[in-house]
Amino acid sequence: MDKNIELANGKLTHRLVEKYTKDGFLFPIGIFSQAEVDAFREELEAIEHAYASIKLPKPLSAYKRGPANAVIPLAARIAKDKAVLDVVESILGGNILIWAAEFFIKEMKTENFVGMHQDLTYWGMGETSGQITAWIALSPSNVESGCMEFVRKSHKDKILPHDDKFSKKSLLSRGQEIKVDIPKSERIFAELNPGQMSLHHGLMIHGSGPNSSNDRRIGIAIRYINPDVVQQTLGKSYAMPARGVDNKGNFIHYPEPAKIFSEESLQMHQEICDSQHQVLMATAKQEGAVWSKPTS
């Protein structure tokens, strides 16, 4: 795996911002030490163990995905970490909201995958550049374990037509995939060591393969937006303030959970999920453009 991208006082240099703007992704960015990642993983797996036999309104897996930051303090802490936000600020500016943070986990020796897709297809935000996903590895994320795969410069196209395949092996809600086959030769494999981070644009075509390794592939995907973003479908959505101020008021704010799975946070999580589900169902019916391989 590549060495960490060199930052300037914890932030992206102008050259790196230009590279992200040109390619639609950027990696590997060193964020957390091995000791920090080990502590995160230990805390997450302790939650999994503790709540395996404790009844919650929904399965634990539902809370690890979606807006996990609404009910799991660990997810909110990682998403609001200064080192992460310093890098994100280089792209979005100083006013940052968290639209969602979710753990993506592939168990060892399993066939779960993520089909090639664009995030913004189902978010109801249009084709805005006022968003970015930070994906942080909490265990080795490589070709063997099913790391993310990007198609360079594909973010320069429009929202593309997707098929909802509802595969039981897909980690996506509808098993969504773009309606075109992307050859392996055109994919960039974003291999990350634990503690490293990648960034990608919401129009970036990306996905990931199954985990054939002997370890769990654990990552957290954090969806950041700036206040200029507008939920274009079904009114206001929800977001957690992370840095700066929200001078637009386009999103309903919710707080970091005081403790895990509190009654208040569970209720908020359900409200957010209901809102995002309505957006998902509405945007699933929309048509997109036709993808053409970028030439520059």
Domain count for the chain, please give it.
Answer: 1
Q: What are 148-199's pLDDT values in tens digits?
A: 999 999 899 887 766 665 555 555 555 466 767 788 889 999 999 999 999 9
Is 137's pLDDT higher than 50? yes
Q: What integer is the mean pLDDT of 71-92?
A: 99
Please report the beta strands in the chain, taking only residues with DSSP state E, as ranges in sequence order.
25-30, 96-106, 114-117, 131-137, 148-150, 162-164, 176-178, 188-190, 196-200, 206-208, 217-225, 237-243, 251-253
DSSP-derived 3-state class of residue 61: helix
Is 230's pLDDT higher than 70? yes
Residue 234 lies in a domain: yes
Domain interval for residue 190 = 14-283
Per-residue pLDDT at 172? 55
Residue 179 lies in a domain: yes
Residue 6 lies in a domain: no
Quote the CA–CA distance of 92 and 80 in Å, as a whole number: 15
- If one compares 1 and 97, the residue with the highest pLDDT of the two is 97
Residue 292 lies in a domain: no
Which CATH number goes with the domain that contains 260?
2.60.120.620
Global pTM reads 0.91
Confidence of residue 291 (pLDDT cuts 50, 70, 90): very low
Residue 188 lies in a domain: yes
